[in-house]
A and B are shown apart, each in its own frame.
Chain A
Amino acid sequence: MKDNVISEYDVTPLPIKIAARDVQVYYGDTHALKDVSVDIEDKTVTAFIGPSGCGKSTFLRCINRMNDTIDIARVTGDIRIDGEDIYDKRVDPVQLRAKVGMVFQKPNPFPKSIYDNVAYGPRIHGMARNKAELDDIVERALKRAALWNEVKDRLQAPGTGLSGGQQQRLCIARAVATEPEVLLMDEPCSALDPIATAQVEELIDELRENFSVVIVTHSMQQAARVSQKTAFFHLGHLVEFGDTDKIFTTPEDPRTESYITGRIG
């Protein structure tokens, strides 16, 4: 199936969703991310790979301005989503985060019911005019996250009572419920067992139909399975970016090759 997609992509290039130019991030005196420029396409899964501390999560958190919540973080450069500079003074980071959803490494359901977890975003942003609409939104989000059948009879049960894989899918449902255009995933499967991982990966592939998905992962197999584009980060630099197949078969940069073959990392 993936081969089909790649060839289809080769024939019709997708529009650019996120365009980053010369992005630098400093944490206090540490220069964490250096001169990153990348174009991320719409309706594509883009994987960020690289050894720990290479800056891939830092860059991910630049895309929805989550770094703003860290006092000592400073971001320079230019990141545009649909041509709009998201670091412009007129952009409200809170609104931006509604448009750019995020799923975290560790499942972090709120200590509320499953229903309230999913309804959290829509309620904050006033997306439903009445209870019936909200019910619809919740059902749709849970269905998209492939969780509906498992939880439809116990929507009022606490979200923290689900299994790890279900919790992560609940977090994905919570993120898609606000109808974002981009979905950022920071190692979404690192806390999950292989079966839950397979479910989430399948889900990511389906989400590509509607969203531009950016996923940070430590697993190169995972990057190869779910993504169409891959970016390799090393020591704060974006070393190589291109089609996933190409990165994993014929990388241009020797550092990429070393990492993929397990010599650095």
Chain B
Amino acid sequence: MGDLLNSGSATVLALIILGLAALGFALTRRRTVVSVQGDTRRLHSLPAYYGYNAAMLIAVPSLMVIAVWLLVQPVLVQNAVIELIPEEVVAEGSSVGLVMSDVRRVAEGLDSAVAQGAMTVQEAASLDAGATDVRAQLAEIGVALGADVQGPVLAAAQRYRTMTATGRLAMMVTALALALAGFAYAFSRTNADFRARNTVEAGIKALLILAASLAVLTTVGIVLSMLFESINFFRLHDWKDFFLGRSWAPNFRGDSDLSILPLLWGTLYISIIALAVAVPIGLFAAIYLSEYASSTVRSFAKPLLEILAGIPTIVYGLFALLTVGPFLVKIFGRGEDGLLGVDWMSGATSVLTAGLVMGIMLIPFVSSLSDDIINAVPQSLRDGSFGLGATHSETIRQVVLPAALPGIVGAVLLAASRAIGETMIVVLGAGAIARISGNPLEAMTTITTRIVSQLTGDTDFASPETLVAFALGLTLFVLTLGLNVLALYIVRKYREQYE
């Protein structure tokens, strides 16, 4: 929170640096052109490259310093301030972390008091907890505190403020100094023989590497955070019961049954029904579009099919709950009033409802991938088969599909991993009862829906009932990752076949 208050100044600083970079670009570019008396052919690179080089040297190091500083400074300040808080201030049932958040709130309060003019800078720095009621004073300017401010907390808050302010100032000076140094360096190095083009190329490469590694690091971060929370869960709950138990019955008063098997069963059952719907329909659609459809049909049918892929899954969920579910009940339920006269289905939510709708969602996914793969089969194979007097469907069945099979298997596996991870359709369509049953007309529940329900509402992040969500999430992640790796392996192997 303290960062946010000060982030204004960091933004201004960043803007100043960008302004400097723009100035550096213009000046360096001009200087370069002047240095060869306007005859740009004598330059090693186009004049703009010298400008880019200067802008890069000005902006990149200083902006990086700001970014790192903003991340590191709060940690350092907090570590320094924590020493000021004596043990006895930390009340029973509380923790140093909670006291520290008090400190930060007081510091923020003082900041905004100064900003609104309710206090002078000196007053804020010399407040005494014994003499004044800090809580009341801060309440006047709209900062509500949970408890009276104790002496050590106020002292810590004041220390926190000074250290933060000093840090900010140091950051500004360092960043600006770096920017100016970069400016001077770029400006002085600019001459006709300087290979600005190559330097800019290296800079662009570094930028791209940075983007790629950020994406990878984020993934690693997500996995690690899930892993640590899962470890916390397994400290509180037996892993054997989680993986091998038969019952799921969370109870927020404790002593819950938390086993993944019923959820995994629901997840896989629904996914299999979804694939049974999506794979044949998607594959046949892909065969029609890539092999039989004329280019006019293709040009409107393909985008139309892909619109299905653009529908938000919550809309599919509504479709399941309000249309498909009641329709299935009409067929399989209601006893004498139903279409079949049977009473096998009581509510709209069921494995079949969720599976059917998820299958519809996956059709464009399967068809679009299969379409690409079928199109990648060389035309020469089709010609060869036609040339031997095979019909179109014989050619597809005996030559095109066998050649495309590994790729299609890969597409199906990718679709499967999407089905396993799908959430909204099952939240609305599958029901909330964890059970292991073979009847597709019964409501069951999945891993994803249980993660949602365990984490919504008031949650205590120290109880196994909440932490189980991370263990479920990690299992799901491992499952889909495994499927994706397998799919990519198969697809890649298939690609090599024609190259």
Contacts and interface: CB of A to CB of B under 8 A. Distances in A.
Contacts of A66: 383, 386-387
B383 A101 contact: no
B295 A64 contact: no
A108 B389 contact: no
B389 A121 contact: yes
B387 A97 contact: yes
Nearest to B378: A108
A145 interface: no
Contact of B295 (A71, A124, A174): A71
Contact of A106 (B294, B380, B386, B399): B380
A160 B381 CA distance: 12
Contact of A101 (B378, B380, B388): B388
Interface stretch (B172-180, B390-398, B448-456, B479-487): B390-398
Contacts of A259: none
Nearest to A102: B387
Given A66-B383, A108-B383, A124 B389 contact: yes
B402 interface: yes
A110 interface: yes
A98 B295 CA distance: 28
Given A71-B295, A110-B399, A111-B497, A104 B385 contact: no
A228 interface: no
Given A112-B402, A124-B394, A97 B389 contact: yes
A157 to B, nearest CB: 15
A120 interface: yes
B384 A104 contact: yes
A98 B384 contact: no
Nearest to B497: A111
Contacts of A174: 384, 388
A110 B391 contact: no
Q: Of A95, A99, A108, A112, which is in contact with the most chain B CB atoms at under 10 Å from its CB? A: A108
A76 B134 CA distance: 99
B153 interface: no
Given A71-B294, A171-B384, A111 B402 contact: yes
Interface in B370-419: 378, 380-391, 394, 398-399, 402-403
A128 to B, nearest CB: 15
A99 B389 CA distance: 8
A129 interface: no
A95 B391 CA distance: 9
Given A94-B389, A94-B390, 8 more contacts: A69-B383, A71-B295, A98-B388, A103-B387, A104-B383, A108-B380, A110-B385, A120-B388
Closest 8 CB pairs of A and B: A98-B389, A102-B387, A108-B380, A97-B389, A121-B388, A108-B384, A111-B403, A124-B390
9 contacts: A66-B386, A71-B294, A96-B389, A104-B383, A108-B383, A110-B403, A120-B388, A174-B384, A178-B388
